[in-house]
A = this chain, B = another copy of it.
Amino acid sequence: MRSNQVTIKDIARELGISASTVSRALKDHPDISVETKKAVNELAKNLNYQPNAIALSLKHSKSFSIGVIIPETVHYFFSTVISGIEDIAYEAGYNVIICQSNELYSREKSNAHMLYSNRVDGLLVSLAKETTDFGHLRFFQDNNIPVVCFDRASEEILCDQVIIDDYTAAHRIVSYLIERGHQKLVHLAAPQHLSIGYYRQKGFRDALEKHGLPFDESQVIMADQFEKAIDAVEKLIQSGNIPDGIFAVNDLTALGAMKALKKHKLSIPNDVGVVGFGDGQNAQLTDPSLTTIDQNGYAMGKRAAEILLDRIKNGTANFDPQKYLIDTRLIVRESVR
């Protein structure tokens, strides 16, 4: 039961020297003779000595770990972001503590507290849909722990943001939809207090305007999940007011829309064109495959981690929060005429 994990003291005792000497020997300090170093290093290897990172953290007030809070790992996009974060953190000798908020504000908050208790050196967060209060993030900032928001950011919290250019991307794919002959459009949207919700909707409206198409509020329908999309499109069909083009705020929502359309024997893309946003791996598997935007989650994760590590290194002194945009790509497939 008692654990026999070997410490610096064990090595010191065995060799009849002091712990400080062992410590210095292990890190090749010039004060220590070569024989002592040799003895220490050999014994350390034999005993399988592994430094206790916890003691180091306490000593240095630095944990060499960063916290990540994301809505849900089950989304392909977020897991690619995680990979990007991990690769950068790993290179720099940091480890990553990942938490899921499950889109719940309460969980996001308690995750934040847990991460603070563990004294992460920095925080990467993608906001839950519910989140409208940011005290838990300001708390980090008040304690000089840098915070970087990615993907799901908000203007109400002042911190570095790494986001995709939602507006431009939305504008682009909606324009594409229009130019391919889809004119009577509907947008399945996310909550507008999230910047992704707002900017994608804005891109949608402006693309309509640019092409001289009229706009009515009824063309924006709040629905950002698979099931919700099914319901929303179902309602549209029932009402007889069927659009000939749908811009969904994300791929899963687009797939939901497609499912409802197929059920009513509406042809995609002939009767209705559908485009999504944020190319997961699903988009290429459907029939027809989905024209969408590649969000490049991996690049976003890398960039966010780089910025955070930079803030950790250089401090948040002359703090001047930046907004970094990640490039997107229009991926043309079969769901548009």
Contact = CB atoms under 8 A, between A and B. Distances in A.
Interface of A: 1-5, 48, 50-55, 57-58, 61, 63, 65, 72-74, 76, 79-80, 82-83, 86, 95-100, 102, 113-114, 116-119, 139, 142-145, 255, 281-282, 285-287, 315, 317
Contacts of A102: 83
A125 to B, nearest CB: 16
A143 B4 contact: yes
B82 A95 contact: no
A310 to B, nearest CB: 15
Q: How many copies does the complex hold?
A: 2
Contact of A83 (B48, B51, B100, B113): B100
A58 B58 contact: yes
- Chain B CB count within 10 A is highest, among A61, A83, A118, for A118
Given A79-B79, A285-B282, A58 B54 contact: yes
B83 A95 contact: no
Contact of A144 (B4, B80, B142): B4
B117 A1 contact: no
Given A80-B74, A286-B287, A315-B1, A100 B86 contact: yes
A61 B57 CA distance: 14
B118 A53 contact: yes
Contacts of A285: 255, 282, 285-286
Given A63-B54, A73-B73, A139-B48, A114 B100 contact: no
Contact of A119 (B54, B61, B144): B54
A322 B4 CA distance: 25
Given A74-B76, A74-B80, 8 more contacts: A1-B144, A3-B145, A5-B119, A50-B117, A52-B119, A74-B83, A95-B118, A286-B287
A63 to B, nearest CB: 7
A55 B58 contact: yes
- Chain B CB count within 10 A is highest, among A2, A54, A282, for A54
Contact of A53 (B61, B95, B119, B145): B119
- Chain B CB count within 10 A is highest, among A55, A57, A98, A145, for A98
Nearest to A281: B282
- Chain B CB count within 10 A is highest, among A48, A100, A286, for A100
Contacts of A86: 99-100
Given A79-B79, A98-B98, A285-B255, A3 B50 contact: no
A112 to B, nearest CB: 10
A167 B320 CA distance: 58
Contact of A95 (B58, B97, B144): B97
A53 B144 contact: no
24 contacts: A1-B317, A3-B145, A5-B143, A48-B139, A50-B116, A50-B117, A52-B58, A52-B117, A54-B57, A54-B63, A58-B58, A65-B118, A73-B79, A74-B80, A74-B83, A79-B79, A83-B100, A86-B100, A95-B99, A96-B99, A97-B98, A282-B282, A285-B286, A287-B287
Nearest to A117: B53
